[in-house]
Amino acid sequence: MHIGNRLRKIRSLKNIPQSKVCRGIVSASHYSNIESGRYEPSEDILELIAKRLQIPSNYLIQVHDESTKISEKLAEYHHLIDSDLEKADEYLEKWQEQLSYIPSIHQEVKYLLLQCLHQLKKVNVTRAQDLHKEVSHYIGKDNLSSLSRYIKYKYYYVSGLLKFYERDFIESFELYSEALNFTSTEMDKARIQFNLSLICYYINDKHKALLYAQDAKNVYMDLHKWKETVEVYNIQGILYTDLQNFEKAVEVLNKGLNLATERKLSLQTSQVLHNLGMLYFRKEEYDLSLEYLTKSSKMKLVHDPSNVFVTYAAILRVYLKTQNFRELKITLKDALKVSNNKMEAYQLMEIEAQMEYLLLNYDKYEKLMEDCISYYYSNNFWIELEGNAKHFSNYHLENRRYKKAHYYLDIELQAINKIYKERS
């Protein structure tokens, strides 16, 4: 990484052409050679360029000078990202101005990667993409092999997480696999194995997902990382449920519940309760399912309010399955109050449409389902589209509306094709 990388980054962020930066300072060809790394500029030239770009001169001159104070701040920031996102937000707000122009390129790349990780943990994908683009001005295939082990690990890990949120699961898997080669602690290794387990779940390779989950759990238990151990029990329970190995699913989820309760891990307890509810839903034991989901929702309202919606949605599906329309209508209103975004509002609309269908209110069903499918389609929510488009197509076919039946069948086939591509 050299001064040219930084100059390209600044120009890109400020949207300034090379000709404007170098005018009256050096020739265009000379400046081009500086950015490409073929020529090392003098401090005098760098000071003039810094003035032109309206940035501190040391940001261009001291690119290889690392600061102990900056290292300490980055280490503290990293710790807070791993342990407490709220405090990480506060810390970033407090020190953001001081960290705006870090002279050392190596330290700035660390900072950008940590910011990217921070935003991804908050599921702020758009901001994370912008930060990752800044990183790409410094790191590419041509220089990755020459970078420090830490930077390689962090780059592959953060890039893998970003691709996961972008739903590019194959690329995410490859990046995490590369990150495994540069881990420096058993904790880092376990964290990647857990994430690889999640990816394998999403690409429908559930047996491989179980292998990665078991490897992660072994490390977490050895390190007495009980919160992380419970999280692995959770993913194992989901995997065994999907594989219809209900006996094993009950076993691992109860182990997770006992451990979470014993260690007073309220948030993780609420998650295990939710997954037990989903397990009994799959077993068609709806009373037991509702019991666990209700317990989970009550705990989440206190300890994990941002994630309570998913449990409300599960409760609604129990009421839908058992045709308890009175409770369903009441819970729909409660669920709408805790929904976080437009997608969740449309999920509720989808459930309402299914209720109206069962109540034989076909006009309401058609209007609600048309709106849902239109929203899902325009936002590429293929998993949500598949089943709904199939049901709606069959509905129109039964009513001899062949043109509409064909239209929604085509959407269903598009969804199946997209889902297959994501998983292959």
Quickly tell me which residue has 């329970």 as its tokens: 237
Residue 214 pLDDT: 97
CA dihedral of 180, 181, 183, 184, whole degrees rounded to 10: 150
pLDDT at 14 over 70: yes
Quick: pLDDT tens for 41-84: 889 999 999 999 999 999 999 989 999 999 999 999 999 999 89
Q: CB neighbours of 123 closer than 8 A, spacing ≥ 6?
A: 165
Contact 122/110 with Cβ under 8 angstroms?
no
b/e for 287-305, b at 16 or more Cβ within 10 A?
A: eebbebbebbbebbeebbe
Q: Is the dihedral of CA 351, 356, 360, 365 positive or negative?
A: negative
pLDDT at 324 over 70: yes
Mean pLDDT comparison of 33-37, 203-207, 277-281, highest-scoring range? 277-281
CA dihedral of 280, 285, 287, 290, whole degrees rounded to 10: 30
Compute the average pLDDT of residues 282-299.
97
Distance of CA 198 to the CA centre of its chain: 11
b/e for 307-343, b at 16 or more Cβ within 10 A?
A: bbbbbbbbbbbbbbeeeeeeebeebbeebeebbeeee
Compute the average pLDDT of residues 248-264.
98
pLDDT at 114 over 80: yes
- Among 82-86, 98-102, 138-142, the range scoring the smallest mean pLDDT is 138-142
With residues binned 3-state (H G I as helix, E B as strand, rest as coil), the percentages for the chain, rounded to 5, are 80, 0, 20
Residue 271 pLDDT: 97
Quick: pLDDT tens for 168-217: 899 999 999 999 999 999 999 999 999 999 999 998 899 999 999 999 99
Q: Which alpha helices (H) appear in 84-138, and where do they start and end? A: 85-95, 105-121, 125-136
SS3 329: helix
Specify the amino acid at residue 2: H
pLDDT above 90: percentage of residues in the chain: 82
Give the domains, in start order, of the chain with CATH numbers.
3-61 (1.10.260.40), 65-184 (1.25.40.10), 342-424 (no CATH)
Residue 392 pLDDT: 96
Compute the average pLDDT of residues 264-291.
97
Quick: pLDDT tens for 410-419: 999 999 998 8
State the chain's mean pLDDT as an integer: 94
* C-alpha atoms less than 13 angstroms from C-alpha of 218 in its C-beta half-sphere: 8
pTM of the full predicted structure? Answer: 0.84
pLDDT above 70: percentage of residues in the chain: 99
Residue 120 pLDDT: 95
Q: CB neighbours of 216 closer than 8 A, spacing ≥ 6?
A: 190, 191, 193, 194, 197, 228, 232
pLDDT at 241 over 90: yes
SS3 1: coil
Residue 423's pLDDT band, with cuts at 50, 70 and 90, is low
Structure tokens at 180: 């495994």
Short-list 207, 236, 208, 205, CA closest to 221: 236
Residue 420's pLDDT band, with cuts at 50, 70 and 90, is confident
Residue 424 pLDDT: 62
Compute the average pLDDT of residues 104-123.
95
